[in-house]
Amino acid sequence: MAVAYGPQYHPDFSESWLLQRIPWSIAAKDARRSLENGQPFGGVVKEVFGTKPDFLQTLNEDGVFSVQFFPVHIQSEWRGYIGFDDRQHERWWTEAEIMLLGMAVEMFGNALQRWQTEAAFERQSNYEKALALCSRVLHQVTQSEEEQVAVLNQALEHLRLAVDAGRAYLFENFVDPELGLCTGMGAEVCAPGVDSHINVPAIQHWPWSNLPDEMLQALDTGKPYGWLKEEAFASIPVLVQNFEQQQPPLLSVQTFPINYSDRWWGFIGFDDVKKSRQWSSEEVRILRIAAEMIGNTLQRWQTSCARTVPGCSIGAPTAF
């Protein structure tokens, strides 16, 4: 929400949490219908919002006598509106005023569309650069497991930065004689201020029975898995509580399976600790490609290691 005020008004209005989440159900249906259809809406508030006493009371308490709203459409999609308040007079806005303000709002809409297009192009460019850097890093020659972990961390960092995640990590599956199928963290990178989890003992030996069945089934069948934490881990409430207690708290997660020799080997994941977000289709596409690249790298390492070191198990898939 962006707000500009006349000199006699204070700017606290824009800081209201309530005004950042206004349900259209509290406003008049005519207002939404007009704006959706690309038409301005406004007038004396006690008349245009007379059927919505609660909303009208809010406007009266804030000293608003008249409003005029103009829709903002971007690529034929209604994205919001720009509004003007009169806190001195009850008035119906003149045709000349509406025409002038409508032209100005159209200029705002064009600017927003241009900025959106430029931002999308920049994001796409960043994603492609991250994939290129990830590929270059994964093709480095390694001589030990420590070097391989370092390479994986470099690749994950490029991906983390590209999608602005707080944490990126790699988990490998294995079978415990008592606990059954488990998974353990083998690589991790974090944004500044985000705590690392790789040295937590439980993270190295986590039973899949303590994770959502839907997550296991998705990853095991080659599908990504992730949403807001409340949705992704809804079947395991204790996990949701634990994620809320982290500093900073986990807000959303997205994971991608790593397959090795036609077998599910593990997964890479990305945590968002800044905002609750649904990961975009483009982010999912790019990160899924990256997971395939990492799987190919693990297979290459295992093949190379097996040639030079009998009995080598680096990157080898666990049988289960």
DSSP string, 114-157: HHHHHHHHHHHHHHHHHHHHHHHHHTS---SHHHHHHHHHHHHH
Q: Rounded to whole angstroms, what are the CA distances from 219 to 127, 185, 190, 215, 249?
A: 23, 16, 23, 6, 24
Set out the domains of the chain in order of their start, with CATH numbers.
11-93 (3.30.450.40), 131-308 (3.30.450.40)
Residue 49 has pLDDT above 90, yes or no: no
pLDDT tens profile 222-272: 999 999 999 999 999 999 998 988 889 999 999 999 998 778 999 999 999
The number of residues making up the chain comes to 320
DSSP-assigned beta bridge partners for residue 41: 69
What confidence score (pLDDT) does residue 79 get?
A: 84
Q: Which of 68, 85, 75 has the alpha carbon at shortest distance from 34? A: 68
Q: Is the pLDDT of residue 308 over 70?
A: no
pLDDT tens-digit map of 191-224: 999 989 999 999 999 999 999 999 999 999 999 9
The residue among 156, 211, 158, 153 whose CA lies nearest residue 182 is 211
CA distance 5 to 1: 13
Residue 183 CB-density burial (10 A; 0-12 exposed, 13-18 middle, 19+ buried)? buried
Residue 265 vs residue 28, higher pLDDT? 265
What is the value of pTM for the model shown? 0.66
Strand partners, 85: 67
In 286-310, which positions are buried (b, 16+ CB within 10 angstroms) versus exposed (e)? bbbebbebbbebbbebbebbeeeee
CA-CA-CA-CA torsion sign (41, 47, 52, 58): positive
Nearest alpha-carbon partner for 183 in 195, 201, 171, 169: 171
pLDDT of residue 305: 62
Local confidence band at 12 (pLDDT 50, 70, 90 cut-offs) = very low
Question: Looking at 36-40, 58-62, 73-77, 267-271, which range is the least confident one?
Answer: 73-77
* Residue 252 identity: S
